[in-house]
Amino acid sequence: MIEGLSHVTFVCRDIERMGEILTGVLGAREVYASGEASHSVAPEKFFLAGDVWIAVVEGESLAARTYNHVAFKVRDEDLDGCLDRIRALGLDVKPPRPRVAGEGRSIYFHDDDNHLFELHTGTLAERLEAYATLAEAGR
């Protein structure tokens, strides 16, 4: 049975640039760099963002942008500062999708390799409550 999320891996042309994004936007800290040693399929770095292990492996960018994404939980009061850091790194910020009142706020942005990230202030419980309220109101 699954115990939880082990890690998230991003394949990137430039693992140094992805490191700047992870440390600069998510406040992640680098905990490993393979350097010349390769124990995996290519040079790699590991980061911790909160309790989330993020692996970055050197390789080809995604061919296209899609809505497939990873969402990281952030506090509402930190969201505007995150947006400032995202823009300072020259990343492509996407308009947010329409929201239901009470489900939280989000920032969506693409990195240089077409990965889509979301920074989200809400929780699953809040979203389900917001959706239930809509259902009760017949919407």
Q: Which residue has the tokens 């910020």?
A: 93
Q: Which of 16, 44, 58, 126 is catalytic?
A: 44
**125, HSE (Cβ side, Cα atoms, 13 Å):** 0
Give the integer Cα–Cα distance in Å for 12 and 14: 5
Q: Is 58 a catalytic residue?
A: no
Q: Can you read off the two tokens belonging to residue 107? A: 């920032």
What sign has the CA pseudo-torsion 78, 81, 86, 87? positive
Q: Can you read off the two tokens belonging to residue 40? A: 């995996």
Active-site positions read 44
